[in-house]
Amino acid sequence: ELQTKLNYVGFNVGKPDGIFGSMTKQGVISFQSSQGLKPDGIVGTLTANALNSAYATKQRQEKVNAIINNAKQYIGVKYQWGGSSPSTGFDCSGFTSYVFAQNGITLPRVSRDQFAIGTPVGFSNLQPADLVFFSFANNGIVDHVGIYIGNGQFINAASSKGVTIYTLGPYWQSIFVGARRVF
């Protein structure tokens, strides 16, 4: 497991074989140095925690990239109320649930139900792949969802344009209800 994680986060220790040899020790030392830890080659609690954190961070980033890349491939797919596939078209929550399902994450089908899961995220703390929720009636009741893609933008299935990217400008901010991080 140690060798697999070191390789995954970029510290090549060769093919994992379960033997803590010189390559593994050097990989541990290099990893420790990169993390500001004492480079002693011993995998104590601090090193193990740092490695587990680096591993989880990289896994999350890869999933984020996969979700965003997957979502972007549907740009231009038409809007269809109740639609949940690229062949028939998408509505907003059909789009988000489809994209996340393609990446091994099951979401409820309806935007209001999607808003009830995951960890709440404030507007100023948005990260790519967070779900962003809106109320067109501006009454606090969720009736639209999209996927934040970074740089102040989100992708969604909009009734006027189908799957498209919008900037979270003044209009969208004025009807923003909240965001959720679901993984």
Catalytic: which of 49, 70, 151, 156?
A: 156
Could you confirm whether 138 is annotated as catalytic?
Answer: no
The whole-angstrom separation of Cα 133 and Cα 113 is 11
The whole-angstrom separation of Cα 136 and Cα 158 is 12
Catalytic: which of 52, 92, 138, 139?
A: 92
| Residue 71 near residue 147 (C-beta atoms within 8 A) | yes
Could you confirm whether 156 is annotated as catalytic?
Answer: yes
Catalytic: which of 7, 65, 125, 144?
A: 144
Tokens representing residue 112 in the block? 């209001």
Query: Nearest to residue 178, comparing CAs of 114, 87, 128?
Result: 114
Could you confirm whether 92 is annotated as catalytic?
Answer: yes
| Residue 97 near residue 182 (C-beta atoms within 8 A) | no
Residues assigned a catalytic role: 92, 144, 156
